[in-house]
Structure 1
Amino acid sequence: MKPTKANSQLANKRPFYTKEVMIRPYPPLFKIYQSYAQILNASQLPTHFQHDVSLISATAPAPAELFATDNFLLVYIAQQQNIRIKARSIVEADVDLIQVQYQLSNTLFKLMTELKINPQALNPDKLLHNLNQSLSKQAIYDVNQKLYDKPRCSLSRDLLAKLIDCSRNQLLYRQKQINGSHDLRIQALKNKCKALTSVQPCASQFWSLDHEN
C-alpha cells in the first residue's frame, strides 16, 4: 500500500505544520473534545502552549487525517490556524481509553483554572451536562475531593463556578438569559401559529395564511 501523506509525516519524526494534514480528536474521545471546545470557545486562548501531540494514523475513511489522543488544546487551535507540531506516533491497540480519558479530564480542569473564561459566552446547563457525560468519573471525583472534600462523581454548578473563577450567581444569570431568549422565541412562534396553543390543533391552523411570515 502506498504510504499516505499523513503516514509519511508521522514516519519522518520531524515537526510539521497542520496545514499539511488534518488533525481530529480520536473518535472515542470526541465527546471530551466537545467539552474542551465549549470551554475554549469562551476563553482567551493562550499564546504559549505545548506543541507535542500523540497521533494515530487514519486508514479510513480519510487517510489524510491524523487522530489525536491528547493535547486537545492544540487540536482546537489547529482547527483555526496553521501551527507547527511535533507528533508522536502511537498504535491504536496501545491506547488505554480509561487512562487517556482521565488525563484529558484533568488537563481540562487545569485549563479551566488557568484560562480567562467569559461566563457570558457559556451555556452553563449545556456545559455541565456535557462535562458530566463525557469526562472521567474518577477525575470528577478527584476534583470534588480536592476543592470541596465531597465524594461526588458529578460536577455541580458551584464547582463549575469555582473552576472558571466566577460566581454561581453569574452562571445562574447567564442561564436565565438563555432560557428567557428561548421563551421569547417560543412565544413568537405561538403568536404566529394558533396550532401551538390549540387543545386540538388541525392542519388548517398550521398552514393558515395568517402566520406564513
Structure 2
Amino acid sequence: MHFEPNEEQKMLRDTIRQFAESEVAPLVEEHERAGKFPRELIDRMWKELGLGGMLASEPYGIDLDPISYTLVIEELARVWPSLAIIVSVHNSVSVQLINQHGSEEQKAKYLPELTEEWVGAFSLSEPGAGSDAGALRTTAKRDGDFYILNGEKNWVTNGLAANVYVVFAKTDPDAGNRGITAFIVDRDTPGMKVEKPERKLGIK
C-alpha cells in the first residue's frame, strides 16, 4: 500500500502545520499550566478549518481519507499532543461513530452541531473496569421509548467540555460483550452529572 502524500494532502498538511505553529504554539504553556480546555481555539478550528467534521460524510463534514486525517493529527501533535487527542477523540470515537452507526434522525440532529460548534466525548472507562468493555457495570434499561442509564464513568476524554457523550452501557448483561450498546447522551440530560477533573501529568 502506498502512503506517500499526494499534492492535495501535502497542501493540507502544510496548512495545518502553519496554523499549529502560528496559532496553537503560543497557547500551549498557558493552557497546560492552568489545565484549561482550549474552547476558543477549538471554535476556530471547527469553523475556519473544518476540523470538527473530518470523519463525517457530506453534507455534514469533509470526510477526509485516512492519510489526510492522520497528517492533520500528526501536525497538531507536533505542537500540542493534548490538543491532538481532543481533536482525534472528537472525530474518531464521537463524530465517526454517529456518522457510521447512527440513525438518519440522529445524524441530522447531532452531526451539524458536532462538526461546527459542539465537542463530543467518549465514555467507556469505569472505576474498577478501566477500558475493559466486558467488565462494564453501567446498565441501560428500556423504559417505553427511552432507556434509563445507571452507572459511573471516569477518564472521559473531552468530558468537561463536551456537549454530547457516546456512552457505553450493558443492555443485556447475560450476553457478555455482545450485550453492550453505545448511547448518545446530551450533556443536559436529567440525572447526568459531570464531576471535577482529576489532576494528571503528560497528555491530559
For the aligned pair, the TM-score class normalised by the smaller chain equals under 0.3
User: Normalization by structure 2: what TM-score?
Assistant: 0.24
TM-score by structure 1 length?
0.23
Larger relative contact order, structure 1 or 2 (CA cutoff 8 Å, min sep 6): 1
Quick check: which one's helix share is greater?
Answer: 1
